């Protein structure tokens, strides 16, 4: 059975991911490149240029005047949000035009991922008064390992999904039984290859880990809580999927129940506001 690193090596050999996107995410993590260097790389991908300018000029940012240059767009959006836009575009491309089943579909995974990203952002900002860019990013790609498994081992992955639907164990356990690894490990390997922040790597790797040592204010805790809230709204990548929080996180939520109720009430409006950015139907 393949390991997570073997699956990632095979995935990379298929040239599924655009080189410009990979190069830009690595450049952002190193924090040593000039604006001109970023502009030169971004120019290599005309589609990315259009999406960057469309995003910064969208109602979501509500700028007073139109932005027409790459450097100005990057300055407005910021490096962390640029990285998130690039990763979002990569994920959209992996999801679009894929096959679906009654149990799992990449479109369902996209909806779940976008919802968890926004929910994580709200939790980071409102509950913990933290910068939310990493929370958004981690929420967006926490399940990306499922796409890689579905692409490389579709029959084994579907066996794991069907076993989860009718069984009592976690999806992680069924993935290990049928595939030999799980989507959290595969996603961690991909995020590490992209040189994403350590907190994001941990959040991806541990988002199914039920451990009372995980603190609510840590990115892993935020992702788990967001995942739990979105599962409860039945926005799931696998039919019938449910969250399972530790007592530490459940106690934290009970102590802050009014704040979490407010987030749950605001989620539909927040998703609607960002629909232009997250919709799979728009280019």
Q: What residues does each domain of the chain span?
A: 4-278
Q: What is the pTM assigned to this prediction?
A: 0.87
Where residue 16 falls among pLDDT bands split at 50, 70, 90?
Answer: confident
Q: What is the DSSP letter of 250?
A: H
d(CA 98, CA 146): 13
* 135 pLDDT tier (thresholds 50, 70, 90): very high
Q: What CATH superfamily classification does 4-278 receive?
A: Hypothetical protein af1432 (1.10.3210.10)
Angle between helices 144-152 and 183-193 (to 10 degrees): 100
In degrees rounded to 5, what are phi and psi of residue 238?
-125, 130
- Sorted by sequence, the CB contacts under 8 Å of residue 235 that are 6+ apart come out as 108, 111, 112, 115
80 neighbors 86 (Cβ within 8 angstroms): no
Residue 268: partners with Cβ closer than 8 Å, 6 or more residues away? none
- Per the CB < 8 A criterion, the answer to whether 253 and 225 are in contact is yes
Asked if the model's pLDDT at residue 216 lies above 60, the reply is: yes
Residue 274 in this model has a pLDDT that exceeds 70: no
Pick from 210, 216, 154, 147: nearest CA to 179: 154
H-type helices in 195-235, by residue range? 198-205, 219-232
Lowest mean pLDDT across 11-15, 72-76, 117-121, 143-147: 11-15
Q: How far apart are CA 143 and CA 141, in angstroms?
A: 5
As a whole-number percent, the residues of the chain with pLDDT over 70 amount to 94
- pLDDT tens, position by position, 35-85: 889 999 999 888 889 888 988 888 878 788 899 999 999 988 899 989 998
Write 279-282 long-range contacts (CB < 8 A, 24+): 280/92, 280/95, 280/96, 280/107, 280/110
Q: What are the tens digits of pLDDT across the range 161-202?
A: 999 988 889 999 999 999 999 999 999 999 999 999 999 999
């Amino acid at each position: 059975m393949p390991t997570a690193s073997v699956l990632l090596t095979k995935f990379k050999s298929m040239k599924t991911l655009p080189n410009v996107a990979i190069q830009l995410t690595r450049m952002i993590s190193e924090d040593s490149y000039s604006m001109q260097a970023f502009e030169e790389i971004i120019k290599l991908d005309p589609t990315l240029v259009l999406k960057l300018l469309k995003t910064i000029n969208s109602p979501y940012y509500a700028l007073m005047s139109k932005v027409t240059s790459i450097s100005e767009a990057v300055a407005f959006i910021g490096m962390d949000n640029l990285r998130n836009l690039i990763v979002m575009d990569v994920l959209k491309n992996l999801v679009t035009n894929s096959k679906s089943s009654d149990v799992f579909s990449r479109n369902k995974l996209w909806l779940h991922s976008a919802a968890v990203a926004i929910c994580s952002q709200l939790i980071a900002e409102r509950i913990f008064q933290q910068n939310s860019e990493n929370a958004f990013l981690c929420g967006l790609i926490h399940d990306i390992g499922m796409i890689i498994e579905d692409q490389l081992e579709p029959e084994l992955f579907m066996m794991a999904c069907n076993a989860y639907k009718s069984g009592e164990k976690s999806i992680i356990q069924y993935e290990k039984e049928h595939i030999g690894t799980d989507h959290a490990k595969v996603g961690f390997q991909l995020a590490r290859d992209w040189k994403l922040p350590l907190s994001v790597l941990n959040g991806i790797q541990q988002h199914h880990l039920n451990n009372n040592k995980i603190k609510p204010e840590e990115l892993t805790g935020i992702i788990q809580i967001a995942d739990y809230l979105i599962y409860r709204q039945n926005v799931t990548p696998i039919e019938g999927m449910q969250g399972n929080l530790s007592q530490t996180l459940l106690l934290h939520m009970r102590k802050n129940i009014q704040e979490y109720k407010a987030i749950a009430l605001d989620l539909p409006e927040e998703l609607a506001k960002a629909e232009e950015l997250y919709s799979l139907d728009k280019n």
